[in-house]
Structure 1
Amino acid sequence: MTDLSQYLPILIFLVIALGLSSVIVFLPMGVARLTGTHQPNADKNSEYECGFPAFEDPRSQFDVRFYLVAILFIIFDLEAAFLFPWAVSLDVTGWAGWLTMMVFLGELAIGLAYAWKKGALDWE
């Protein structure tokens, strides 16, 4: 027969984690309701990040520039993610690694210049 008492610390850890996460999630909501800061109005429900109303027909058309900006952000965010391990391992990769990263950064710079020239970064 298996001795399940070895799993007791894991069970205690999971119960504490569930309790703490519940407190972190639900306590601010309860405090907001009790103190009166939960008062939705038109200004609080208005769009402020995406640029178009969030609560309307889902088949409505909107500007494709939102996607262009998101794609450009992801590209340059990944560039930053590649720069850190490259910088850490530069002593191992040597000049070949340095040259390869310069080619990569050059391609990204050409892509940025192209997007800038095409007006992908202009906002009206």
Structure 2
Amino acid sequence: MKLILTYTLMIYILMTIILLFIPLLNYHKQMDREKNSPFECGFDPFSHSRTTFSIHFFTVSLMFLIFDIEITLIMPIPIMKKLMHLENWMMFCLIVSILLLMGLIMEWKEGSMEWK
């Protein structure tokens, strides 16, 4: 039993050493200006720093976040059916659906969903 534990410990140590030195052998780690620069949301890091920010990009990202939050509200609806009375559950589903459709129609009519 003690011999098995010793071999297991040696294998763990050997694997740890191997996994620590593998990145040192990687020849694709040539650093250049592009790889060292941070990637920011839609900005070119090597252009002039006073360029204007695209408001449309910002509104599309906000719509994505809003629809993401709406999905988190929709996901537990089937589970809630077991916990609520049928009438209350149907009323909740109807209210959530109407709110989501109203938001979608408002954004559609406003034209913020069209990529310009």
The TM-score by the shorter chain falls in which range? 0.5 to 0.7
- Unmatched 5+ stretches in structure 2: 1-15
Q: Contact 2:39 / 2:45 at 8 angstroms: preserved in 1?
A: no
Q: Give secondary structure in 2 for the equivalent of 1:61.
A: coil
Match in the other structure for 1:92: 83
Residue of structure 1 aligned with 2:42, choices 36, 51, 63: 51
> Deviations 1:25-71 (Å, cap 9, x if unpaired)?
xx6xx72x6322223457657898732214552x5421112221122
CA distance in 2: counterparts of 1:73 and 1:53, whole angstroms: 22
Quote how far apart the aligned CAs of 1:75 are. Answer: 1.5
If the length of structure 2 is used for normalisation, what is the TM-score?
A: 0.60
Answer with 94-103 or 46-55: which moved more. 46-55
Identity %: 29
CA distance change for structure 1 residues 106 and 46 in 2, over 3 Å: closer, same or farther? farther
Are 1:114 and 2:106 matched, yes or no? yes
- Unmatched 5+ stretches in structure 1: 1-22
Whichever residue aligns with residue 37 of structure 1, its letter is H
Quote how far apart the aligned CAs of 1:81 are. Answer: 0.9
Q: Which has the larger radius of gyration?
A: 2
Aligned residues: CA RMSD: 3.3
Whichever residue aligns with residue 83 of structure 2, its letter is V
Match in the other structure for 1:9: none
CA distance in 2: counterparts of 1:103 and 1:114, whole angstroms: 16
Are 1:78 and 2:69 matched, yes or no? yes
- Equivalenced residue count is 96
> Deviations 1:63-102 (Å, cap 9, x if unpaired)?
1122211221121111111122222121222221222222
